[in-house]
Structure 1
């Protein structure tokens, strides 16, 4: 789910003899150009983020009522956010397990298993009986299906963003890095739009009885489309040859951690500001509005959809800015801006409809600008043989450290101690990013 940078010496690396043999053997195979790779990256990431946000929105609007009716709405939402975090905890496990599958059976088998697991887990939630029918078993099944989503997401890493980044001209690395990140705002806009439509056209009883299940059916259908779109690329001989030439193959996790553990840790922390902001402007404000505001939820989702468009614009713009000023400078500057923005959280969220709208639009814009370059920010530091696995594990750790518990922490702190603590949470993420970037001197040299 992350883009990567690459230094010019690696772009000029010569194919190995093995790669030359593969190239000669498949000389007549169909060509895969960067445009096809870019389309595959955007489709794949948009489908993953659609699944992601369908579950996230349901965690606020649905699950507290249908799976935790024995608790008040705040406690039910906090419980929903606990289960929400399970996917991020399971994701590194999915990466490790599916990398082993790939080494034994090939990337087509791995990707097919992962995306079918994602589809089954997502559709399973759509058919899941609620608490009133089967009691606490419903909560256990929801947790297991959420873990299934996390394992599947970890296993769905296909190497397309890495391959796209390695195809980048030296002066276009930021532009190529942002392409995969467009999936986040696209997936959010579609998911929020589906829920906003259902809320606007259904009664509350109908929505909680059957309407909420519809987005999960849609998510399953989108997964099928994404599966065939990505397999169309992954299964080609040309794609396999390009991965071989760039040494984009999985390595064992033990070797990866022992040799490149420092780069994984610094890479994850460098993106901390962006990943913390990710849920503070998407999931957390929706839960706050649902609990403490008289504002219409479908209207607020429409505002967030506009924010998603701002984020998409920010992602595009981040590529131009990074190519002009350098990725490290871009990430550092955005971390400072996020730190400044964190100080306005209480004033804006308590500022009525206009203040909340400003919070969403400005927050989403900052998110797009930072997230466009955040994922995989220091994967250029990996030795070439470790890039494929390193990019996946760095992304897993960044999501786990920066985003997994963000809705739970932000809502819990704000509900019990005040919105000022959300400011402190965001500020800590920004400071973490600045500290990691200051350690990552190699990134400065490469930029």
Structure 2
């Protein structure tokens, strides 16, 4: 049972955004790691330092070690503060996170950079659950993802959600809408939107398909070669492959150890010039914002493998895309974007998409944990900082509106 709010017993930490930025810029994190390890060995380390050490380990490629440290820290402390640079916080935000790797919770710190918002992060774990007395805050937001590792945390938050004492954004019961196989069913009949069926397939099913014992339609009606496959539960392109025929599928399975996969029909979304353009949108309170456009001669694009930093021509096109976004891309797909946002129902989420060869909005995936940041060099990407600040301002304004709305209601009730 949730009790009235109380002064928070938090542990301060350096934080996700600061440490990730240092790693992105090539700062050597070894000295900091050694200092934190020494404090742990001496028995003088604070909980926030332990969580920072966990993140440093993950940033340095030591994921398993980092997660062990994180779980140990969370076994005795759940609440952490990332201070604001402002002398006095203008708003207190409580982020509800899960005990998962660094990519499994919304990297909300980036969205709050430069604001007067104080961020408290409460980790909801199976063993500790939610505290009976919540820390004082003005607005809360669920930052745990739709991954299987977060299901227990989301269930605990969902149970408490009806009695939450402050506005609660990205409500836990809606996070599951972002699952790959659920998103298709949610968006499939929106006019002007194309989203391939993403179906779960076991290794046994795919082995039978590769051997010719079953047909594609026995997995899902619209599936055919060429198809896209990826191991279930993976992100950032891990294990993603385009399979042109049964032989390619057999070779793919021989290289993978996983037992469960997602499969979908391949969509050739190349533009007339032969290049692929993959777009990341940030949806804030129902409004789309351009986050980036990656341009490459390959279908499996991520911003890094598009090598945008090495092409002035690509960057010029991305700059125009951002500059004209509201009256061009967003206007062309306004009805599809509006309906997608309404059906997903989340206050904040990210969409990776493109335009198919019929001019429709082609949706690849949506989630609430993709990194939206302002770390790119302003010298190489001078058009990006203003766009990122626009997104950050929209996000912080949404938080303020929601908190203010409840405050005004309270005042009205008291009157």
Greater per-residue helix proportion: 1
Between 1 and 2, higher relative CO (CA 8 Å, sep ≥ 6) is seen in 1
Larger Rg: 2
Give your verdict on TM over 0.5.
no
TM bucket (normalised to shorter chain) is under 0.3
Larger relative strand fraction: 2
- TM-score normalised according to structure 1 size: 0.24
TM-score, length basis structure 2: 0.25
